[in-house]
Amino acid sequence: MVAGAPDGVEVDLSLVRIPDDWLIFAAPDGQPTEPRHPDSITKQFTNRAAKILGFSIRLHDLRVSHGTWLLDQGTPVHTVAKRLGHDPSVLLKVYAKRTQKGDESAAEKIGLLTKGLAIGPT
C-alpha cells in the first residue's frame, strides 16, 4: 500500500500536503506534532535489529559502517565526508583508521610499481 491506496492504484503524491509542524518521529500516541523521545527511537531500533540480526547494533554503528564501507569501495573521501556531514580532514582522522582495504590496496599498487625495480644479485 502506498499512501493508503491499494496495490495497482496510481497515486500522485505531489498532491499530498503534510503540515510543516508534523514530525518524522512523532509520539506513538498518534499526535504528529508531539516529538518522540530520541532514546525511544534508538531503543526500538536496537531491539528490532537484535531480533533480526541476532546481535546488538546501534543506529550510529550503521553510520560508521556505511562510511567505512564507502571508503573500502573506493568512494572519494570528499564524497563520503559530505554524506556523513564531516569535513574531509575529520573523516580521514576518524574513519580511515577503520578501513583495511585502503592499506592493502596501496601496498599492492606499490608492489606492482616497484616489481621491475628490484635489484638482485649480478
The structural domains of the chain, with segments of one domain joined by +, span: 59-106
pTM, 2 dp:
0.50
Residues 6+ apart with CB under 8 A from 84: 63, 66, 67, 91, 95
Cell 599498487: give the residue.
Answer: 109
Taking only the tens place, the pLDDT of each residue in 51-70 is 998 888 888 888 888 888 88
Can you give the pLDDT at residue 63?
A: 85
Helices (H), strands (E): how many in the chain? Answer: 5, 0
Give the residue among 104, 103, 97 at the shortest CA–CA distance from 68. Answer: 97
